[in-house]
Structure 1
């Protein structure tokens, strides 16, 4: 089944033998099995678990993308970015009104073996995707990605969720709805209440949260499902020591998938990779070993000492040493180390402002003025220069480069650093020092105290110093509360933090991902600020239904201006990543929409042996 030719618009929007012995030999000895190919590297932040329905953090989703598989995926090398089938036989059939998407799943794909299947092989069917999608609507799992599906208005599913919540009963998985249904064993159909030209691009390319899940597995493990991921992907979970070590091992039952990435004609490096690996069976490595090393210096030394094969995102503080003038340092090049440098499709949120918080939240002029003043007193330029070592560019709004909706000519006060203007705003709206202790009070005379959540790592400490310096400069008292990242994430989703700094990454080359940060119904999901402005919500819904083009671009910029004006977030930068590899790691190119890149890379054990001898 192939895409209806007249309905390719949604895809076009993507930025888109041994020699004989002379004498009688001794009895033949069995050949030694080759040593397993192991790729080792480190995460800077701990995982939260492995259940797609419960995940929102980048690190856990990087892992689950190697275990679970969705219908579609991004080509690893293609630029502009290109979508291709993964477990689907072809790209979807799309209705004229962009409300119906029909997929045919490849027969003969199986889940990894697991006790939940009681010793039988378990084939992937369309019903597994129906179940996986429904899990995001089940209140039991409190899915942080529910907003992505609700925005698409899958027919009948929100109503099914509400009915279960109102009745305080288990979610009725066996109730068929139009929104997602299996037409037969291998045919899957999505029906939307409103047009959504980019629905396959934005949702169905994300294996990490919308990959197929077997119902038997979830029912077998129950509340421990976060510890027992079982998918159809190239890897399975082999070992897990929480917040310390994760081992993914090759799935021995993975089907035959051959390397066929399409390299751009103007990229010799990618052309060489594509030629070298074309036709190789995936994955090419046997194991992926991930350590959790939160501090940057130990992570850097682990790579230099050869304990890690790959360093994802060179720590900022070592940029001057490792890549002076953004070129690989001669001493590293001499060792055969090579680098890959590319923009991340993300936005660093120097802070969210919880709109439900009585101090920093709200839509009245004095509350907006307070957030604007705080934002103006934070020095984004120093963050980029001193903390990020120029491995970032200033942000004018949430929408990142390489996504539709980004306008390089758009300029706003989001990037401004102006303490004098900040003080003037505070004075004008009554945030003044009434008792002479050097700290401002709120307009009603009550204490003005900001609480900023942070983590116990070097990067967070550097950012805290910038916040502390900026707030002291304008006379606002700020205290810092330190916790592990997963704890802060949980608290933020529950609306319990006043301020917190995070980053937000896109899963597809479309700016909707970033506007979703401010959409009211996304509270507890993408919308950590809990911002809920009717005018913004209307613009978000409007652009979401529109095909790509100048009119949609205009609406997205209007929405961006409202986010700048009301300041639910202080957005500071869009980052640039430099990844370093030892000479035996072959085939890597950063693709911002492929997190689980491991199946596309190889470890050359001969080069590795020679380098270590």
Structure 2
């Protein structure tokens, strides 16, 4: 590193509340310095504290308007859904959380009855006027209604909409048509409380996998109506749930502190790892019967730049680094093993196959890259074929991924590692031939192609300002230049780009999509017409695809449904509203005093399952 980088880095770390001391050692590695360790137990008031940093800023903590992963990591620890995933079971297994047992389902999977455990209470809050507030069935009904309320502009409404709960979609339509506030007092025929602790859900169509939609505390957790009404438009800063933690402090885009919920019920560590899962069995043996959560506080900083985030972990300012930046993977875990200089300090490394995809979005309503005519499809296909994904993986991402062939995500239904398609091809010659064939020519000899009508061909992609994004943008511009297309980058903050893509105001953007459940159909929502503007970032609309999507919703898992998924893949590849880049590997690292960590598969909550052993800090 050149010395002129240090003043900027130090100033940024001061603004982010980080320490500034550092040292350069042989080979360019940054080593921990004496005196920079995380505060001791005494300095923390005798509390067990987990400290780490997220790579992107949160947007708020009200579940209804959320879609970003980083906010949902926080809300999953504040709120609780009806069901959750077994922390140690692999493959994943759903189990009750606030529900008292699994749902009772009708034979046609249209009616579900769910009992709640009595004696669960929300965290204490002024909204309850000094009283204890028990969780009741109406709290889940109210929470679901908030997603249907048009005023909340909930990005994940489409997921609930397609469940077809009797009366819920109609209630939303009525609010939109009448231009009146959503009627929260109206009793829905398909979503009722039979008594204080019993829910009855009735659907218009069969939904064999309904329980997967209920096993997401980050979005589908219970919300108390009086809290929302008490805080009004400030509700995003005042989340109150039944979860193991409460929000203790929040400095937007800087520091989020969660503390143990003193009102949390007696809940104990238990799980069902597979019999041959040595790691899972060892964790169960160590922690079974321990009361949750096992730690007292979690402090989460926001450090968007990879370098200071990596340095903060090396300097022991943080105990854990979630997703080691690709730029430093060879320093962290060369050849898949923890580097010797870290291993001698007891650092643990966790490498796993992420249930995700990285994609580029084309706005199908954009006048240049959108549309369904042959020349527009050819342009998108040509741009896709020109992207050297292997180089992106090997050079920019340091080998932390593998080329994707379809939108289906590893560890979900519909994913087939043997499936191959044009989406995984890098072929600049074929790309140029497509452009030539459909009239994207360099008519004036300046090295840049024009559109078929002779107007300039200029494309732009939204991005972020962090180091990884800049490296990816440079490579993308290089790939586009190689086929004669002018390509511009327009950077903004990640939350701004998310809002813009949902509004349809971006031409292109790249982002990662993570699975939240086993059912691969959720990924197909990227292409489903009715989800345009929410999960369908490309605003793609195709009647044949939509028909396949709806048919797959009602079928049980099996060969017939898998055949529909194959057809859907082919349509997705043919129209190319997205470029599917890759699936990622994730590497997390923890100091030896963080005990019990195991990366979740689909879910976001794990803090309650780890312990802090301060006797290990001396290492």
Q: What is the alpha-carbon distance in structure 1 between the residues aligned to residue 530 and residue 233 of structure 2? A: 27
- How far is the alpha carbon of 1:452 from its aligned partner? 0.4
Q: What is the alpha-carbon distance in structure 1 between the residues aligned to residue 590 and residue 367 of structure 2? A: 48
- How far is the alpha carbon of 1:323 from its aligned partner? 1.1
Deviates more, 1:550-559 or 1:321-330: 321-330
Q: Deviations over 1:423-475 (max 9, x none)?
A: 11011111111222221111111111111000010110111011100100000
> Alignment partner for residue 548 of structure 1, among 551, 554, 557?
557
Counterpart for residue 315 of structure 1: 325
Counterpart for residue 278 of structure 2: 268
What's the C-alpha RMSD, in Å, of the aligned pairs? 1.2
Q: What is the alpha-carbon distance in structure 1 between the residues aligned to residue 200 and residue 355 of structure 2? A: 30
Counterpart for residue 394 of structure 1: 403
Q: Deviations over 1:306-327 (max 9, x none)?
A: 1110111111111111111112
Q: What is the alpha-carbon distance in structure 2 between the residues aligned to residue 554 and residue 502 of structure 1? A: 28
Counterpart for residue 35 of structure 2: none
Counterpart for residue 300 of structure 2: 290
- How far is the alpha carbon of 1:33 from its aligned partner? 10
Task: Confirm whether residue 515 of structure 1 aligns to residue 517 of structure 2.
Answer: no
> Equivalences for 1:470-509 in 2 at 5 Å?
470-509=479-518
Counterpart for residue 94 of structure 2: 83
Task: Confirm whether residue 46 of structure 1 aligns to residue 57 of structure 2.
Answer: yes
Counterpart for residue 110 of structure 2: 99
Q: What is the alpha-carbon distance in structure 1 between the residues aligned to residue 110 and residue 570 of structure 2? A: 30
Q: Deviations over 1:348-368 (max 9, x none)?
A: 11x100011111111111110
Counterpart for residue 59 of structure 1: 70
Q: What is the alpha-carbon distance in structure 2 between the residues aligned to residue 182 and residue 381 of structure 1? A: 53
Counterpart for residue 28 of structure 1: none
Q: What is the alpha-carbon distance in structure 2 between the residues aligned to residue 323 and residue 279 of structure 1? A: 34
Counterpart for residue 358 of structure 1: 367
> Alignment partner for residue 300 of structure 1, among 302, 307, 310?
310
> Alignment partner for residue 123 of structure 2, among 81, 89, 112?
112
- How far is the alpha carbon of 1:148 from its aligned partner? 0.5
Counterpart for residue 381 of structure 2: 372
Counterpart for residue 425 of structure 2: 416
- 2:47 match: secondary structure: coil
Task: Confirm whether residue 36 of structure 1 aligns to residue 47 of structure 2.
Answer: yes
Counterpart for residue 468 of structure 1: 477
- How far is the alpha carbon of 1:115 from its aligned partner? 1.1
Q: What is the alpha-carbon distance in structure 2 between the residues aligned to residue 33 and residue 159 of structure 1? A: 52
Structure 2 unaligned spans of 5+: 1-41
Q: What is the alpha-carbon distance in structure 2 between the residues aligned to residue 117 and residue 309 of structure 1? A: 36
> Alignment partner for residue 598 of structure 2, among 568, 589, 592?
589
Counterpart for residue 134 of structure 1: 145
Counterpart for residue 559 of structure 1: 568
Q: Deviations over 1:488-509 (max 9, x none)?
A: 1111111110100001111111
- 1:270 match: secondary structure: helix
- How far is the alpha carbon of 1:34 from its aligned partner? 6.6
- How far is the alpha carbon of 1:223 from its aligned partner? 1.3
- How far is the alpha carbon of 1:32 from its aligned partner? 12
Q: What is the alpha-carbon distance in structure 1 between the residues aligned to residue 119 and residue 439 of structure 2? A: 68
- 1:389 match: secondary structure: coil
Task: Confirm whether residue 193 of structure 1 aligns to residue 194 of structure 2.
Answer: no
Q: 1:33/1:146 Cα in 2 relative to 1: closer, same or farther (>3 Å)?
A: closer
Runs of 4+ in 1 over 2 A off after TM superposition: 31-34
Q: What is the alpha-carbon distance in structure 2 between the residues aligned to residue 208 and residue 69 of structure 1? A: 7
- How far is the alpha carbon of 1:267 from its aligned partner? 2.2
Counterpart for residue 602 of structure 1: 611
Q: What is the alpha-carbon distance in structure 2 between the residues aligned to residue 179 and residue 313 of structure 1? A: 41
Q: What is the alpha-carbon distance in structure 1 between the residues aligned to residue 399 and residue 392 of structure 2? A: 9
> Equivalences for 1:325-344 in 2 at 5 Å?
325-344=335-354
Deviates more, 1:315-324 or 1:227-236: 315-324
Counterpart for residue 16 of structure 2: none
> Alignment partner for residue 150 of structure 1, among 161, 168, 189?
161
> Alignment partner for residue 407 of structure 1, among 416, 436, 442?
416
- 2:222 match: secondary structure: coil
> Equivalences for 1:234-245 in 2 at 5 Å?
234-245=244-255
Q: What is the alpha-carbon distance in structure 2 between the residues aligned to residue 277 and residue 232 of structure 1? A: 22
Q: Deviations over 1:362-420 (max 9, x none)?
A: 11111100000010111111111111111111100010111111111100010111111
- 2:195 match: secondary structure: coil
Q: Deviations over 1:213-248 (max 9, x none)?
A: 000011111111111111000001111111111001
**Contact 2:293–2:609 (CA under 8 A) maintained in structure 1:** yes
**Contact 2:78–2:241 (CA under 8 A) maintained in structure 1:** yes
Q: Output the TM-score relative to the length of structure 2.
A: 0.92
Q: What is the alpha-carbon distance in structure 2 between the residues aligned to residue 431 and residue 32 of structure 1? A: 65
Counterpart for residue 14 of structure 1: none
Q: Output the TM-score relative to the length of structure 1.
A: 0.93
Q: What is the alpha-carbon distance in structure 2 between the residues aligned to residue 535 and residue 179 of structure 1? A: 29
> Equivalences for 1:201-216 in 2 at 5 Å?
201=212, 203-216=213-226
- 1:65 match: secondary structure: helix
Counterpart for residue 18 of structure 1: none
- How far is the alpha carbon of 1:539 from its aligned partner? 0.8
Q: What is the alpha-carbon distance in structure 2 between the residues aligned to residue 524 and residue 120 of structure 1? A: 41
- 1:183 match: secondary structure: strand
- How far is the alpha carbon of 1:156 from its aligned partner? 1.1
Q: What is the alpha-carbon distance in structure 2 between the residues aligned to residue 111 and residue 91 of structure 1? A: 22
- How far is the alpha carbon of 1:179 from its aligned partner? 2.6
